[in-house]
Amino acid sequence: MLEKLRIIFTIPDLRYKILLTLGLLAVYRIGWQIPLPIIDQAQVSQFAQNMEGSTLGGFLSKVSVFSASQLTNATIFGLGIMPYISASIILQLMGTVYKPLEELKKEGEAGRKKITEYTRYLTLVLCLLQSYLYLKFILMGANVEGNLIDNSFEAGGGLGFFWQAIAILVMTGGSIFLMWLGEQIDEYGIGNGISLLIMAGIVAQMPGALFGLLANVSMKLEGLNYGGTIGLEKILLLIMIFVGVVAGVVFITLAQRRIPTQSAKHVRGRKVYGGTRQYMPLRINQAGVMPIIFAQSLLMLPPVLFVAIGKSFGGGAESTGFWRFLSQLIINFGNTLQDYSSMLYVLVYIAMIYFFCYFWTAITFNPKEISDNLKDSGTFIPGYRPGRRTEDYLEKVLERITYVGAGFLSLIAIVPTIITETLSVDYMVASFYGGTGLLIAVSVAFDLVQKIDSHLVMRNFSGLLEE
């Protein structure tokens, strides 16, 4: 392996791409530490700590994981690339229902560039909106928790319009710069720029979680007791679980259902063309990490709605009888739904992951389009006629492998909860054993290795994963 790493840096073009990518990621991490000028960082950190157990705090922490942002720290990159991710998802969903966008997708490179341009415009709009809402959230915290605004920037006892506009523009500019940074990595570096930024944000949180775990470690045999110090046997168990989960993620990420295809024979003169047998790979985890992202985001909203509805039914002390009972029932239901360790939360979480797995797969994979492409190219699946029969077969196979992929995602998603409840490990530490962060990190790492391998193979070297 060391010899292969040495070979990588002996190739000038590949060495330049890797060093440029590392340099741009370093710029991203430096900007992460630059605070907004109007915010008192010490007060904001205290406000974030007080908010950790709340629904909103949980929502912000989970959004931060898959958007390379840090919403609990008011920095110039505080929004991360969340607006760009949101814009990309919105346009991808619209592309399935809005005819002009669907036509643009079919125009090849020109259509892709046009969609990228629309994504940038929508990202700018979302940046302005989200930075405005985030600033209002900070101001709300100032009213509740104390003065979160630096006194030198206050005007007349409150933050003036001028400084609010400056803060919004600074955060918007930070997110737009990150979008540009990702595009530079795509064009001049190696790997997917946006994905690498997300991975860098996830990996950067690992040292803090590790140090928090090591602070409670005892080198004695403490037993798998709840709470207290973490004994040697618990550390060994956590290491084995981590290795097992990563191995499972790698296996499912690379797993494929290969469908045999055969091209028709064409006789031209004395030569016979075609007739070759190939495979069409269908990924077991076709939807990727998107179902977990959607499920986590949407699960934060119902508890807030149920509590608000419960109070509207008469949650006050003066209400009595049936309405008070109904109000308390709805409020308790909402509180149970936001408890990560409750059976209701786990079941609803799994159900939403299954739903979004099928939903996202249906959006990104069209059996009819694949069937038509096979028919137009003179290729067919042995045993199935081109057209409707092939389409039905592909849809049937896709339904089965999606069921398996959804089950795998559900298991990975609840692993942090299981570890937290059974081993009494902090959720921040347990989140690195499953969930969105681990899936993103493994997927991006494999994509990066495959792109490095393509450069090595092109120059007649063996790949990183080859013996």
- Confidence at residue 177, expressed as pLDDT on a 0 to 100 scale: 92
Q: Which CATH superfamily is domain 1-204+463-467 in?
A: SecY subunit domain (1.10.3370.10)
In the chain, which residues have pLDDT < 50?
144-146, 154-157, 226, 315, 317-319
403-459 per-position pLDDT tens digit: 988 898 888 888 888 887 777 777 667 776 666 777 778 888 888 888 888 877 777
Listed in sequence order, the residues at least 6 apart from 256 whose beta carbon sits closer than 8 Å to its beta carbon are: 281, 282, 283, 284
What are the domain boundaries of the chain? 1-204+463-467
- Confidence at residue 434, expressed as pLDDT on a 0 to 100 scale: 63
Listed in sequence order, the residues at least 6 apart from 359 whose beta carbon sits closer than 8 Å to its beta carbon are: 291
- Confidence at residue 124, expressed as pLDDT on a 0 to 100 scale: 92
Listed in sequence order, the residues at least 6 apart from 320 whose beta carbon sits closer than 8 Å to its beta carbon are: none
CA distance 192 to 294: 21
Which candidate, 39, 35, 27, 293, places its Cα nearest to that of 178? Answer: 27
- Confidence at residue 292, expressed as pLDDT on a 0 to 100 scale: 79
- Confidence at residue 451, expressed as pLDDT on a 0 to 100 scale: 85
